[in-house]
Chain A
């Protein structure tokens, strides 16, 4: 579904991604793991068009989408839940969700958009309760749910998630990851960036390890959880 070939991105002269190759199979949860500063966020931002790619290309269903503008990506069904949630803090929960469907108001009937809003409210009932609350006043977990809900409102086929567990309590993380699994069952393909190796490998089908902008290891979730190096470095065993 998504294929990244020899992708390199720079911040000034700093090469944050070095010839990254990876593929995301339709229907899978694919995860990118790595410690702070490894380049995970840069990789997602390059895929969704926020950071320009200097070398390499990104193929989506075989079509070259390298360096298209972010709104084109959304139109094609790629939706990015950014690092740090980035919700519209001054707006209500409902307004945030409506903005998620920004590109669909001309294309889809309002009944379809309403249906997706109901779907999001069923997935995250707390958002329904907080519907007319200003988003900036939500708790961290609720903001993460809102960020995911907003991304879902564009009806994506591929969901890019940047560290959804970051800064959340274990119980909240479990709830959110259960929802991700549910989305996976609904047929949405997920590319999940995580620092929390354990929890990511629990739900993922396939994973890549990124270090200093390079892919250093890849394999099925099972292979990776058995891998000795990973056990030592990332799982602390």
Chain B
């Protein structure tokens, strides 16, 4: 299912890390872990308060509810973190040179932690009992309940998990990201997932790379050739989303079949 509040989890991941590390002076890695746990709890609360009551409603209503939650979370964030920008420190401050290119070491953290998160997610969904149950739920809820899976628990777990992952993504990227970009991160993540095929982890990662690449290329092209500012990159993402939904709604890796919930 599409959760439009996913981007807000990323924002909370970043903001909470800021509070824990810069205000409460907890070491950055520990602060990051606590922030992830907190976003997971926010995800769990969201599921119980807004999604669970809609369990018999049509899927489109649930999706609209996630947009509402996204707005609510954004307002809450403004309330508790009223300033325009919060600077989260980089995990390690050194930079390193590789093949003649100098990179901040945060880039390495982004790559490394993303890789670990993807691997853990893959192992979870394919090699653990709860993970397989969750996957079964996403394929066919009713059949899942008929083999004895408690689908209400699974919904709770999956919201907590995706919130935790979103929070992790947000805080890893926090030193780069600008505040208030939640919905855009959500749209970007959603575009990546659509491009790769919904419900397909590797597809989503690949889609993310592809969207990022196309965005860079087109933005660069526009800037170099026409001198148009790269501020249009979010519009490019939206354009990719529309084109893919029109031409290949099942995604690049998705098989053509009914909409899964």
Contact = CB atoms under 8 A, between A and B. Distances in A.
Contacts of B100: none
Contact of B145 (A70, A79, A136): A70
B139 interface: yes
Contacts of A86: 140, 142-143, 146
A80 B148 CA distance: 10
A154 B139 contact: no
Interface stretch (A93-101, A186-194, A204-212, A216-224): A93-101
Interface stretch (B110-118, B128-136, B220-228, B235-243): B128-136
B135 A105 contact: no
B143 A91 contact: no
A50 B146 CA distance: 9
Q: Which of A79, A87, A89, A154 has the most CB of B within 10 A?
A: A89
A82 B150 CA distance: 17
Q: What does DSSP make chain B's interface, helix, strand, loop or mixed? A: helix
B156 interface: no
Contacts of A82: 142-143, 146
Contacts of A50: 142, 145-146
Interface string B139-181: 1101111111110000000000000000000000000000000
Range of interface residues on A (Cβ < 8 Å): 20 to 34
Range of interface residues on B (Cβ < 8 Å): 10 to 19
A40 interface: no
Interface in B191-209: none
A99 B145 contact: no
A80 B143 CA distance: 9
A69 B150 contact: yes
A119 interface: no
B171 to A, nearest CB: 32
A40 B132 CA distance: 31
A99 B147 contact: yes
A95 B125 CA distance: 12
B147 A154 contact: yes
B148 A71 contact: yes
> 7 shortest A-B CB distances, which residue pairs?
A74-B148, A103-B148, A86-B143, A70-B145, A71-B148, A88-B139, A102-B148
